[in-house]
Amino acid sequence: MKTNPVAMIAGTGHSVPEKTLTNADLEKIVETSDEWITARTGIKQRYIAPEGVLNSDLSAEAAKQALEDAGVLPEDVDAIVLGTVTGDVNFPATACYVQEKIGAVNAAAYDISAACSGFIYGLNIANGYIASGQFKNILVIGAETLSRIVNWEDRATCVLFGDGAGAALVQPSKNGKGILSTYQKSDGRLAHLLMNPGHYTGKEYFDSNKEKIEPYIHMVGREVFKRAVRCMGEAVEDVMSSAGVSADDIDLFIPHQANLRIIELLFGKKKISMDKVYVNVDRYGNTSAASIPIAMDEARRNGRIKDGTLCVMTVFGGGFTWAATLVKF
C-alpha cells in the first residue's frame, strides 16, 4: 500500500428507535405492497422515531456506545462532527445538543449538511484534524429522522426512508490501522433531483413538469439511481487506486444502504462478489447520513470486520454529493 494512516476508527456505535414500520404496515398507509417494495428496493422494514424521540437522542446513544467501545471519557472528546439534514432545530447545531447529552464539555461541536454523504465527509474532516495535530479524540456521527420530512402519501419515496444514528470515535493511528485514502465530491448542478425545500416561504421550487415541490423529500428516482451507481463506482476506484490496492485486496465493501438494486448493479458492474458486500438495507431502509456508520458498527459487532480488515465505504446523496474511504481496522 502507498499510504500510512494518520487517523483510525477506535470505537463505533449505533442507535435506532424501538418502533419498526414493515412493508405490511405501509400497505395500510399508502397504495403499495410488500412485493412491490421488495422487488424495487430490497427493503422489508425501517425504524421510525416516535414523537418525543429526537435526532440528538439517537445521536447521543450512538456516541455513548462509540466512546465506551474506544475507552474514552466524554470530557476527553475534542470535537463532535454531526452529519445530518434533519437536525432537532434550524439552529443551534444538533451536535451541541449531543454535546450536552453526553457531557462532552470540552468539545467543539457542529453539524455538516451533505445529506447521505455526511458521515464520510465527517470522517474526512476528522482525518484532517488528526493530521494537523489539533485534536486527538473526534466523534463523527451520522444521524437522521427522515420520517419527519417524508410525504406519507407518496409511495415512491415514503417506502424508502428510516430513522437512526451511527457514530465513530476517531483517534491518531496505531499499529498501521486507520484511514488509508479518502475521496469526496459534489455537483450542485443536479441539486434539484434530490432535495427538501423545507418550509421557507421566500422561494418556491418546481420540478421539471413545473409542479410545485412541497416541503417533503423530493426525488427523481431514475436519475438518482443512475448517478448513484456511476458516482459511487468512481469513488471506490479512486480510494483503491490512491492506496495502491485492488478489489481483490479488499475484505469488505460497505456501500450506502439506499436500495439493494443500486448495490447489486454497482458491484455487478465491477465483478465483485456480493459475498464481500455488507447489506442491511432490508432491515433499516435508507437512513441517509446514518447508513454507513450503522452498517459499519453492525459489521464490527457481528464479526464481518476484524483486526486487519481492509474495508471500503462509499456513499451517494443529495447535493449531489458522493464520497468514499478506505480503512484498515
Q: Which of 23, 124, 256, 259 is catalytic?
A: 256
Q: Which residues of 218-230 are buried (b: 16+ CB within 10 A; e: fewer)?
A: bbbeeebbebbbe
Task: Tell me if residue 116 is catalytic.
Answer: yes
Rounded to whole angstroms, the Cα distance separating 245 from 37 reads 37
- The candidate with the shortest Cα–Cα distance to 162, out of 52, 39, 270, 289, is 289
Q: Please report, as a single letter, which amino acid is at residue 174.
A: K
- Whether the CB-CB separation of 194 and 321 falls below 8 Å is answered with no
Q: Which of 55, 127, 286, 311 is catalytic?
A: 286
Q: Which three cell numbers stand for residue 140?
A: 463523527
Q: Which three cell numbers stand for residue 130?
A: 488528526
Task: Tell me if residue 218 is catalytic.
Answer: no
Q: Which of 116, 158, 231, 311 is catalytic?
A: 116
Q: CB 209: neighbour CB atoms within 10 A?
A: 5
> Which whole-number Å values give the CA distances from 296 to 208, 245, 290, 305, 308, in the listed order?
37, 21, 10, 8, 15
Task: Tell me if residue 286 is catalytic.
Answer: yes
Residue pointed to by grid coordinates 430490497: 42
Residues with a catalytic annotation lie at 116, 256, 286
